[in-house]
Amino acid sequence: MRGLVLLLAVALLTACGGTPSRIYPADRLHNMQQDYRVVTEWTRNAGHGISAVGDALVPAVHNEEVIVVDRRGRMSAYDLETGRRLWRMALGEPVSAGPAVTDELIVVGTRKGQVLALDRESRERLWETGVSSEVLASPVVDGNMVAVMSNDGRLYALRADSGARRWLYDRTMPPLKLRGTSTPMLTSRRVYAGLPNGRVVALDRDDGSLVWEARAGIARGASDIERMRDILGDLVLHQGALFAVSYQGEVVSLDPVQGSTSWNRGLSSSAGLATDRERVYVTEANGRIWALDRGSGAAIWRQDETEGLQATAPVIHQDHLVFADDRGALTWLDASSGDFVARRRLREEDDSISQPPVTADGDLLVLTDRGRLYRVSLQPQPQPH
């Protein structure tokens, strides 16, 4: 069988004793000293949120508008500065990924394996193209190309003006995989993708031919569960290096031209990573946050107090690192030391956050799994007089 969903994988892992009992560190983090305060600039009810783990519904910012879509296909736009709702429409079918927004298009992927493109101004539906399975990573639009990864690991290149297929990259995938995929990355000459088999590929942008292939960990173990090496976190291309991380695999630094491995380090992550000029930051599968030396992969610091959280990929924000988690909270760490800077739970209700925050004009946009949209800022604590 192909493409078994995450819930089945978790159930199997639990039955085999492979998943430790859940630890909730929220209580010990609640009373930590906070050097900054988290301010809600505005918040809006933006729909019905996601359907299941693995959905990739993330706010898109374009021309001072924030565009979001929910699992039922209700799409809304809000003014970035004030949060005022600008428009709302119904697509009429369940959506699982997107939106991707350009000057001309709004593109989403659906649970039924459809890619929908709307005119950016009129919001008229321009085209609809079917792919082989549900879409669980946001489509990527660049020029006249729309790149889409379906949940069975197939990578499609479509024409942005018509939805017609330009090429398809397909190879054999493992019998068991997590629910979700990595978002493709487009450059002027290449399309990079992380696959459910733990491979990173570089494809020729024009025809989809394979330029190189590299591994982010080697599948080991007797069972399909032990051999899972999904790349779910997005690839990061930064200052001449391509970074990837796999579940039960490795963090790797690759040459984006040749595909050679500069360094690798054993770490398991289904969330992803971020990088700056000095460090690579990784959210480990157990919730711990790592900082690795960008040039060598050596460990610089590790934050253990977050273990037990289901944390998103880290995001660089100001001079800090921020992530969201299944407790509905945002946590900021000092990027150089890993020390806690601030933490705030956005709602009292049980509302998790499974997608990383989005930076916008120095602040953050956060969409909770129940569909609440926030713009938040990080501000220094007032000094006592």
pLDDT for the residue 178: 76
Closest residue by Cα to residue 56 from 361, 356, 289, 315:
356
Label residue 308 left, alpha or beta by phi (over 0 means left) and psi (-120 to 50 means alpha).
left
- Return the number of other C-beta atoms located less than 10 Å from residue 379's C-beta: 11
Closest residue by Cα to residue 264 from 200, 195, 178:
200
pTM across the whole model: 0.91
pLDDT for the residue 19: 39
Task: Give the tens place of pLDDT for each residue, 164-204.
Answer: 999 999 988 877 777 889 999 999 999 999 999 999 999 99
CATH topology of domain 55-170: Lipocalin (2.40.128)
d(CA 8, CA 2): 12
d(CA 163, CA 377): 38
- Return the number of other C-beta atoms located less than 10 Å from residue 336's C-beta: 15
**Is the dihedral angle over the CA atoms 294, 299, 304, 308 positive or is it negative?**
positive
Task: Give the tens place of pLDDT for each residue, 108-158.
Answer: 999 999 999 999 999 999 999 999 999 999 999 999 999 999 999 999 999
pLDDT for the residue 27: 54
Helix (H, G, I), strand (E, B) or coil at 14: helix
pLDDT for the residue 72: 97
Report yes or no: 169 and 158 within 8 Å, Cβ to Cβ: no
pLDDT for the residue 158: 98
Phi and psi for 30 in degrees, rounded to 5?
-60, -40
In the chain, which residues have pLDDT < 70? 1-31, 224, 227-228, 384-385
The residue written with tokens 């037990």 in the block is: 308
Closest residue by Cα to residue 376 from 349, 350, 343:
343
For the chain, what are the domain ranges? 55-170
